[in-house]
């Protein structure tokens, strides 16, 4: 595995079936061939259809936004890793701050979800990041460090090479407030140092670390030009093909 440049979209709970199809088609037809990997993180109901739309385009992949931690069974309303895999999913966004906030997910649970996603041959996009009060108290590295250690330090080197990390300061998500390129770089460098300590230089160098939090066409280039920022996890701006494509060409 090597470090990739990635523009990943997170549609969250937006887009009905037809809107989702149209958006995926617009992204697929507007994307220029490049080294940048584009990922669409769609609601479950779109996955199978969109996997058909993108199947011949090598630099677009599909992500789910969550996954249950158990293999199968009596978990009404939940979706398993095997189901996702069978619908053509390559990546699974895990530990998004909205899942932490509204669904009580913590890193011990997220660690289990990472395990099952890896077991089924998909790649986790592991989200971490601090709330505003934590940053204001100067404890953001401590908190993100704890998150990363709890969710990822049990993995083997081989498993870690398949994990994408997304640093998403909670105060920047959906707020229009972006971390400065320097704030993003500092945290990404810190996260990479944690990966280096546990998994070694080679794995750290190969780990893709995305920034998320109000990434837009007009700020993407400056963020992505930081040495440890390997792309973005994009919420709002991924819902407009033109904006998302502009972000994907900002490297």
* Alpha-carbon gap, residue 82 to 170, rounded angstroms: 30
CA-closest candidate to residue 241, choices 34, 54, 27, 12: 27
* Alpha-carbon gap, residue 118 to 57, rounded angstroms: 23
Report 121-180 residues binding ligand PEP (CB under 6 A): 168, 173-174
3-state secondary structure of 62: strand
The yes or no reply on residue 107 touching ligand PEP (CB under 6 A) is no
φ, ψ at 224 (rounded to 5°): -70, -15
Q: Quote the least distance from Cβ 174 to ligand PEP, whole Å.
A: 4
The answer to whether residue 96 is catalytic is yes
The yes or no reply on residue 52 touching ligand PEP (CB under 6 A) is no
The yes or no reply on residue 105 touching ligand PEP (CB under 6 A) is no
Helix H or strand E encompassing 127: strand 123-128
Tokens of 115: 């395990």
Catalytic residue of the set 68, 96, 140, 188: 96
Measured from the CB atom, the residue of 175 and 201 that comes closer to ligand PEP is 175
The yes or no reply on residue 10 touching ligand PEP (CB under 6 A) is yes
The answer to whether residue 78 is catalytic is no
Report 188-227 residues binding ligand PEP (CB under 6 A): 212-215
* Alpha-carbon gap, residue 60 to 62, rounded angstroms: 7
Report, as residue numbers or ranges, the catalytic residues: 96, 168
List contacts with ligand PEP (CB under 6 A).
10, 12, 168, 173-174, 212-215, 233-237
């Amino acid at each position: 595995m090597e470090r990739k440049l990635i523009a990943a979209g997170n549609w969250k709970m937006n887009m009905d079936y037809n809107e989702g199809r149209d958006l995926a088609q617009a992204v697929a037809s507007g994307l220029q061939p490049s080294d940048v990997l584009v990922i669409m993180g769609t609601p479950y109901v779109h996955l199978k259809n969109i996997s058909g739309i993108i199947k011949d385009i090598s630099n677009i992949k599909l992500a789910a936004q969550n996954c249950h931690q158990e293999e199968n069974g009596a978990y009404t309303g939940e979706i398993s890793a095997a189901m996702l895999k069978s619908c053509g999913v390559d990546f699974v966004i895990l530990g998004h701050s909205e899942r932490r906030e509204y669904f009580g997910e913590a890193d011990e649970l997220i660690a289990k979800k990472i395990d099952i996603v890896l077991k089924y041959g998909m790649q986790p996009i592991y989200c971490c990041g601090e709330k505003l009060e934590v940053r204001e108290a100067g404890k953001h590295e401590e908190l993100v460090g704890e998150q990363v250690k709890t969710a990822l330090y049990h993995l083997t080197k081989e498993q870690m090479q398949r994990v994408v990390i997304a640093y998403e300061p909670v105060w920047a998500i959906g707020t229009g407030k972006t971390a400065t390129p320097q704030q993003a770089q500092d945290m990404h460098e810190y996260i990479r140092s944690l990966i280096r300590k546990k998994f070694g230089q080679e794995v750290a160098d190969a780990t893709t670390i995305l920034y998320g939090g109000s990434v837009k066409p007009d700020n993407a280039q400056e963020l992505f030009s930081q040495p440890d920022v390997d792309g973005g996890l994009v919420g709002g701006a991924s819902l407009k093909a033109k904006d998302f494509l502009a972000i994907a060409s900002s490297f």
